[in-house]
Each structure stands twice: as structure tokens, then as C-alpha cells.
Amino acid sequence: MAAVVMDGKALAARMKEEVRLRVERMERKPGLAVVLVGEDPAALSYEAGKGRDCRQCGIYYDTFRLPGDTTRGELLDVIQLLNGREDIDGILLLLPLPGHLSQREAVLAIRPDKDVDCVHPANMGKLMMGTGSLRPCTPAGVMRLLEEYRIDPAGKRCVVVGRSNIVGKPQAMLLLQKHGTVTVCHTRTPDLGEECRRADILVCAAGRPGLITGDMVKEGAAVIDVSINQDGHGGLCGDVDYAAAVEKAAYITPVPGGVGPVTRSILMENTLSAALRHGKK
């Protein structure tokens, strides 16, 4: 039997509506600032999407599109300015930065209580300890989708493909916190297929189209495809061979329309919760 397709779009719309209803009752609105360095078309369209989400939720939105030759000092000045602005509760710095800028230094400059994508080491540390309040958007989006479809990681074999700081590592931590038995795979994993075939919950975030073939999916698994790749025909695809996997899995996310929209709604939730912690009512 074909898998249940996990509808991230519908879930994301409900999450945004909940944020909108909460924000509507607030006298001082939450605010999000997005900082983008350079002219990458994908990043520009990503940034425009954040603006639309904020408008839908009633969240104040400001954007800083800085030229590709922005200096270290100019970037740090913008971050410091946003750190001090009371109308801004969340700062999202779009990564990667151009090569001449230090990502580490820029991330460290963001005030941790405004770090709505949970990239600051202080927030990553709290995530490790399970005490954080701001959640990393994409891994938290995956957890929200699992919860929506009542897929409980407790006691399950969870395999995460990818170990980036932004997706794979925090994803593994969140699954572990929900009592999954977690394996993290990467380019040095000797037999990726063997690891994946054991997974009750398979989270793919390698950014490699076609990496996960049908024979790597266990019958009845939940397959969560985080990756967003160009499919070579003007469209998008994930890492998973969807047509093959949908016949074996019990649950599967489409690309697009799976994890992506939920990630965006988590950003709205994080901005709201940062504003509440800043005393906005």
C-alpha cells in the first residue's frame, strides 16, 4: 500500500494561523529581521518568503539586503544595531555568507535571545542539554510533522543522513530527546544502504538528489526528506527516490510541500516566543 503523504503545507498554514491569532491580541507586535549578504537568487527568494510569512502572521518585518562586498565591520554593525532594537525580537542571518566573511564571528554576534534559528553556540549548547527555548527551525519542523502524524520516535531506530550544524546534528539531538535510538550518517559511512534499511524513521538531509533509493527504505518506515535540490528540469526534489519509496514507506514527505513550509512556520513561532520572552504583550 502506498504511504501516507505528510502534508507540510496544510500543517504550516494551521501553525501560521495560530500565530496570527495570538499576535492579533498583542499590543506590541513581534518583529523579525532578516539579514542577507549578496545577490544569490535562491537566498533572495527565500528572504521574500519570510516577508510574506510575517505579513500573514501580523509580525513586523525588516530586511537588510547587503551587497556581496560588505565588510566584516559593516555586517557586525548591522547585527549590533538589530541586537539593540526593541522592535526586533528575532534576527535571521541567511547562511552561507560570502567567503571573505566569518560565519562563526557573525553568528556569535547575534544576541542569543534573538537567535530565532538557534545557530548561536549558547543555544546549541542548551539544545544539547534539552533546556533551550528557541528551537532550530528545520529539525523542529521535522519533529512537528512527526507529532502531527502521531509518529513517536520512542523506542524506534532513527537514521539521520547528514551531520551539518543546521540540520543533521540538531535533528539527531531532538530525536534522541524523544527517546529514539539514533544513528547519524555522512560521507564516511561505509554502507549507507544498510544503515537506512534499519530505519523506522529515516531523515534525509544530504542535499544529494537520488541518494536514497527504494531498496534503502524499510517497509513501513517514516521517510522525512529535508533536502531541497534542483531536479534538473526546473523543479525541486529531495534526496529520496520518491516514486520508489512511496510504495514501501508508511509515511513520506513530498518535496516541495513537506518539511519546507513547516520550517517557515516554526520561524514564526520562534519569533512570537522570543517576543513574549521580551515582555511584549
Residues that bind ligand NAP (CB under 6 A): 138, 161-164, 166-168, 185-189, 192, 205-208, 211, 226-229, 259-260, 263
* In the complex, least distance from residue 280 CB atom to ligand NAP, rounded to whole angstroms: 26
Question: Least distance from C-beta 82 to ligand NAP, angstroms?
Answer: 22
Pick between residue 90 and residue 280 the one whose CB is nearest to ligand NAP.
90
CA atoms within 13 A on the CB side of 152: 3
User: Is the Cβ of residue 131 or residue 187 nearer to ligand NAP in the bound state?
Assistant: 187
- 3-state SS, 9-66, equals HHHHHHHHHHHHHHHHCCCCCCEEEEEEECCCHHHHHHHHHHHHHHHHHCCEEEEEEE
- C-alpha triplet 163, 165, 168: angle, nearest 5°: 35
CB atoms within 10 A of CB 52: 11
Shortest Å, Cβ 139 to ligand NAP: 9
Give the contacts of 21 (CB within 8 A, at least 6 positions apart).
Answer: none
DSSP track, 236-269: EE-SB-HHHHTTT-SEE--SSSSHHHHHHHHHHH
Q: Whole-number minimum distance, CB 258 to ligand NAP, in Å?
A: 8
Q: Which residue has the cell 545577490?
A: 39
Q: List, edge to edge, every strand of the sheet that includes 31-37.
A: 60-66, 31-37, 90-93
Task: Give the CB-side neighbour count of residue 140, counting CA atoms within 13 A.
Answer: 21
Q: CB nearer to ligand NAP: give 82 or 142.
A: 142
Give residue 21's Cα distance to chain centre.
23
State which residue, 140 or 280, has the beta carbon closest to ligand NAP. 140
- Beta carbon nearer to ligand NAP, 51 or 278: 51
- Minimum separation from the CB atom of position 183 to ligand NAP (A): 12
Largest CA-CA distance found in the chain, in angstroms, rounded = 57
Give yes or no for a contact between 181 and 154, defined as CB atoms under 8 angstroms apart: no
* Nearest-approach distance from CB 122 to ligand NAP, in angstroms: 21
Q: Which is nearer to ligand NAP, 78 or 142 (CB)?
A: 142
CB nearer to ligand NAP: pick between 114 and 163: 163
C-beta of 168 vs 180, nearer to ligand NAP: 168
* Smallest separation (angstroms) from ligand NAP to the CB of 77: 27
Least distance in angstroms from the C-beta of 279 to ligand NAP:
30
User: What are 281's three cell numbers?
Assistant: 504583550
